[in-house]
């Protein structure tokens, strides 16, 4: 009876830790990108204070749960097995945290080493919060689609604001928003680009690998729109593409190029994935042509040119039209090619020359 009670309480603890982690990630993904109190004047401080508040709260609560769980792991003689199960990236992060602690100990300016430089806040305190919270998430997170839905919602709002801002529509109604270097609710264009690339890669990968039969069904909302998810993801990717092309950061174009390059290698493995890849390429081309029409024909007096790419040559050369043509020319014949298994076998035979030998 006692053993059963311990087992039940352990399960309850894990459930509590998983639920608290889910809510922490929901707040982090949904609220942090949109936090803004006084325009861009104190945006770095606003986000830092908000992040540290929710993360410190999460660490304190989850820390208690983790200590109890660790005590039971040690009592059951499973400590070595548990350490072996820690993912390699997490071990690297913990080593990095240790190096930060050593750096802090020998720092000349301990205050700066602890809290970081002005407006960056990347001192030991921030790294401690980020890595310890990541460690707890690594231990307690259970795959929940609602967490990723929160990320999609916030990144969609932030990306739509980029599009509006570049056409002189400042929804936040702040004079500070009209400074070209700042955009959306993220801050300067480079900050936005870093945030944006994470979700662009996520949206891209989610679309080309999505399988409705294997999808997580923990969310009632997700279950209700299950059949429409591919279409929703296409719209989501289109919005992210538009924001990337308009934000004014040249780094965004390097990121997009690298993303398409890596995903192309993944797409070649299966015909269905390659077709989805080409559909996203088609969407990117359509978005680029829509931007050209809006920025240089329909709303040319409202369009804000910022950055080397957004001065016009990139869009006026109709690279988007080229992507549309290439995508369509590849999509049509691919639809009539052999099934995946035969396609893979035939491709391999042609590459190695074994098809001639067998003939």
Per-residue confidence of the chain (359 residues) as pLDDT tens digits?
Answer: 444 444 567 788 888 999 999 999 999 999 999 988 777 878 888 899 999 999 999 999 999 999 999 998 999 889 999 999 999 999 999 999 999 999 999 999 989 999 988 778 889 999 999 999 999 999 999 877 889 899 999 999 999 999 998 888 877 655 455 566 788 889 888 889 999 999 999 999 999 888 766 555 455 555 666 778 889 999 999 999 999 988 888 888 888 889 999 989 888 888 888 999 999 999 999 999 999 898 888 887 777 776 655 556 777 888 889 999 999 999 988 877 655 555 555 555 555 565 555 55
With beta carbons less than 8 A apart as the criterion, state whether 217 and 223 touch: yes
Rounded (to 5) percent helix, strand, coil in the chain: 75, 0, 20
* Structure-token match 């945006």, residue found: 43
With beta carbons less than 8 A apart as the criterion, state whether 208 and 334 touch: no
Q: pLDDT at position 92, please?
A: 95
Q: pLDDT at position 279, please?
A: 94
């Amino acid at each position: 009876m006692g053993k059963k009670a311990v087992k039940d309480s352990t399960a309850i603890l894990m459930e509590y830790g998983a639920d608290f982690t889910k809510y922490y990630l929901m707040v982090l993904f949904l609220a942090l990108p949109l936090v803004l109190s006084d325009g861009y004047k104190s945006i770095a401080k606003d986000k830092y204070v908000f992040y540290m508040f929710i993360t410190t709260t999460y660490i304190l609560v989850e820390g208690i749960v983790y200590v109890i769980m660790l005590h039971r792991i040690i009592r059951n003689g499973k400590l070595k097995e548990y350490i072996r199960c820690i993912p390699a990236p997490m071990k690297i992060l913990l080593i990095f945290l240790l190096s930060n602690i050593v750096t802090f100990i020998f720092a000349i300016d301990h205050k700066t080493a602890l809290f970081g430089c002005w407006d960056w806040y990347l001192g030991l305190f921030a790294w401690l919060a980020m890595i310890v919270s990541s460690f707890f998430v690594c231990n307690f997170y259970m795959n929940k689609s609602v967490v990723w839905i929160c990320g999609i919602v916030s990144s969609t709002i932030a990306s739509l604001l980029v599009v509006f801002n570049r056409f002189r529509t400042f929804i936040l109604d702040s004079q500070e928003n009209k400074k070209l270097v700042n955009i959306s609710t993220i801050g300067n264009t480079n900050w936005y680009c870093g945030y944006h690339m994470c979700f662009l890669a996520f949206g891209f990968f989610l679309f080309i690998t999505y399988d409705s039969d294997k999808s997580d069904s923990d969310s009632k909302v997700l279950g209700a729109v299950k059949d429409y998810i591919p279409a929703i993801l296409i719209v989501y990717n289109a919005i992210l593409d538009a924001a990337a092309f308009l934000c004014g950061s040249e780094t965004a174009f390097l990121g997009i190029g690298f993303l398409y390059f890596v995903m192309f290698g993944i797409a070649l493995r299966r015909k269905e994935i390659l077709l989805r890849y080409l559909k996203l390429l088609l969407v990117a081309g359509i978005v680029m042509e829509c931007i050209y029409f809006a920025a240089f024909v329909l709303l040319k007096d409202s369009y804000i040119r910022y950055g080397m790419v957004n001065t016009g040559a990139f869009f006026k050369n109709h690279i988007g039209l080229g992507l549309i043509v290439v995508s369509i020319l590849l999509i049509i014949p691919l639809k009539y090619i052999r099934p995946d298994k035969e396609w893979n076998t035939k491709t391999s035979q042609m590459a190695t020359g074994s098809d001639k030998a067998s003939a």
